[in-house]
Amino acid sequence: MIGKYRWRIAALLFFAGMLNYLDRAALSVVAPMLKGELHIDDAQMGFIFSSFFIGYCALCFVGGWAADRFGPKRVFAWAAGGWSIFCGLTAVITGYVQLLVFRVLFGMGEGPMGTTTNKAITNWFPREEAGRALGLTNCGQPLGAALAGPIVGLVALNFGWRISFVVIALLGLTWLAAWLLIFKDTPAQHPKVGAAERDMIQRSREEPVIEGVQEHRSLASCIFSAPVLAVATAFFCFNYVLYFFLTWLPSYLMDFQHLDVKSMSIVGVIPWLGAAVGFLGGGIATDALGKKLGSVIAARKLMLVVGLGIAAACVLLTTRVSTLGLAVTCITVSSVFLFVTPQICWSLIQDIVPRNRVGGTGGFVHLLANLAGIIAPSLTGLLVQFGGGYNVAFMVTAAVCALGMVVVIVAVRGQQARHVPSTV
């Protein structure tokens, strides 16, 4: 390995993802307490969960475009400051409407995160390490969700649920200070990056294009191409399952499996640890499979199909088991295979569009994918309250996950990548 500074950047992005998902999962952990205090029912709680993604989706594409235009350092700095402040302000809410508004603003702060992370990795890592880098940095996200149970749950039990949001906000502002001190937009701008490491990253970043597609493409031609739309659909289906778990798993464990807050905080960690294994292992396995098959795109397609297919089967199986242990096992196995897929989606964007369109295209894909965050929590709340309960919600989630597998099989068929020297 030539040089190591890029892995410090990966560590920064890892902790950003951890904090991001700790922030997001916090509300779901305290939802049973909050619902009682503010007199909110399940359907209303679903709308509150979804309101975050209204703001989130609004800034996904803008954040990706801004990362291309202004660089990931400035975009991530503004985003992290925004989400930390509005997460902290959750502590002062007094009613349903106020909570809805704050969740939208909080979502706007987190909107640029995914695309800006992908842009930073595009700038800082050679192409052959993209899967590993994305797997490593993104595995911080489920670990953050895992930590939400014990950290937020125990703080809420001992000091009240409002204090937990203040603690998370302070952690976010601490990360922001580290980001401003350590990160630069490119290796060439950083005085601590050696010439060998800079050259190795630059040489590997030749422009990838798909056969039959013009090498110099507009942003519109990138985002509306069939492979990109297929990636967006697969990402949407992944996100539907993710946000179903992220928003409703604590309530499922308490309302359906009859756990108390303390037990839920411990048991709820297990699926997210499985997700971290999937994130990290999926990135390593995809890079290795690409070398063996001689095609990174074929490897990523195969891993997407396997991951989404097994995840769908395990989510559906959850409705057929009768004990807490078996239910948690099914959810955990589904999480392992489900979380193989998101870094593959991000890697495919790097593989099938020019480097100077990675941010904008990634933002568009992220926007479409995170519409699932608006749909899944609200639909689940309605299903739980009016549509047959948690088992029906699990069945719908499994069907959506299976849809993603089918789209990848059909729409990514036959794509081959070749490389041309970068003009960026």
CA–CA gap between residue 214 and residue 19 (Å, rounded): 40
CA–CA gap between residue 67 and residue 185 (Å, rounded): 9
Q: Please tell me the predicted confidence (pLDDT) of residue 214.
A: 47
Please say whether the beta carbons of 144 and 25 come within 8 A. Answer: yes
Q: Please tell me the predicted confidence (pLDDT) of residue 237.
A: 94
CA–CA gap between residue 411 and residue 414 (Å, rounded): 9
pLDDT of 244 above 80: yes
Q: Please tell me the predicted confidence (pLDDT) of residue 406.
A: 92
Q: Please tell me the predicted confidence (pLDDT) of residue 117.
A: 86
Please say whether the beta carbons of 283 and 118 come within 8 A. Answer: no
- Identify which has the larger pLDDT, 75 or 413: 75
Q: What is the mean pLDDT of residues 180-190?
A: 87
Where does residue 212 fall: left (phi above 0), alpha (psi -120 to 50 degrees), or beta otherwise?
left
The torsion angles phi and psi of 406, rounded to 5 degrees, stand at -65, -45
pLDDT of 230 above 60: yes
Q: Please tell me the predicted confidence (pLDDT) of residue 206.
A: 59
Q: Please tell me the predicted confidence (pLDDT) of residue 370.
A: 84
Sign of the torsion formed by the C-alpha atoms of 234, 238, 241 and 246 = negative
Which of 278-308 are b and which e, b meaning 16 or more Cβ less than 10 Å from the residue's Cβ?
Answer: bbbbbbebbbebbeeeebbbbbbbbbbbbbb
CA–CA gap between residue 358 and residue 360 (Å, rounded): 6
The closest alpha carbon to 399, from 268, 178, 244, 295, belongs to 244
CA–CA gap between residue 292 and residue 298 (Å, rounded): 11
Q: What is the mean pLDDT of residues 191-218?
A: 66
Interval 73-132: pLDDT, tens: 999 999 999 989 988 898 888 888 888 999 999 989 888 887 788 888 888 888 777 767
CA distances 283 to 140, 147, 207, 280, 367, Å, are 13, 22, 21, 6, 23
Q: What is the mean pLDDT of residues 393-412?
A: 91
Please say whether the beta carbons of 43 and 94 come within 8 A. Answer: no
| Residue 31: partners with Cβ closer than 8 Å, 6 or more residues away | 45, 250, 251
Interval 16-62: pLDDT, tens: 988 888 888 888 888 878 887 888 888 888 888 888 888 888 887 78
Q: Please tell me the predicted confidence (pLDDT) of residue 134.
A: 75
Q: What is the mean pLDDT of residues 212-224?
A: 64
Q: Which residues face 420 on adjacent strands?
A: 207
Under the banding of pLDDT at 50, 70 and 90, the label for residue 220 is: confident
Structure tokens given for 343: 């870094």
Q: Please tell me the predicted confidence (pLDDT) of residue 217.
A: 66
CA distances 220 to 113, 357, 361, Å, are 22, 10, 9
What is the distance between the terminal CA atoms of the chain, rounded to a whole angstrom?
A: 25
Give me the CATH topology for the region 5-420.
Answer: Growth Hormone; Chain: A; (1.20.1250)
Q: Please tell me the predicted confidence (pLDDT) of residue 330.
A: 95
Q: Please tell me the predicted confidence (pLDDT) of residue 394.
A: 96
CA–CA gap between residue 306 and residue 289 (Å, rounded): 13
Q: What is the mean pLDDT of residues 193-215?
A: 64
Under the banding of pLDDT at 50, 70 and 90, the label for residue 205 is: low
Interval 127-163: pLDDT, tens: 777 767 877 787 788 888 888 878 887 888 888 889 9
Instruction: Indicate the domain borders of the chain.
Output: 5-420
The closest alpha carbon to 371, from 238, 246, 236, 248, belongs to 236
Structure tokens given for 142: 């489920």
Q: Please tell me the predicted confidence (pLDDT) of residue 235.
A: 92
Under the banding of pLDDT at 50, 70 and 90, the label for residue 178 is: very high
Q: Please tell me the predicted confidence (pLDDT) of residue 423.
A: 32
Interval 26-35: pLDDT, tens: 888 888 788 8
Mean of per-residue pLDDT scores for the chain: 83
Structure tokens given for 273: 């640890």
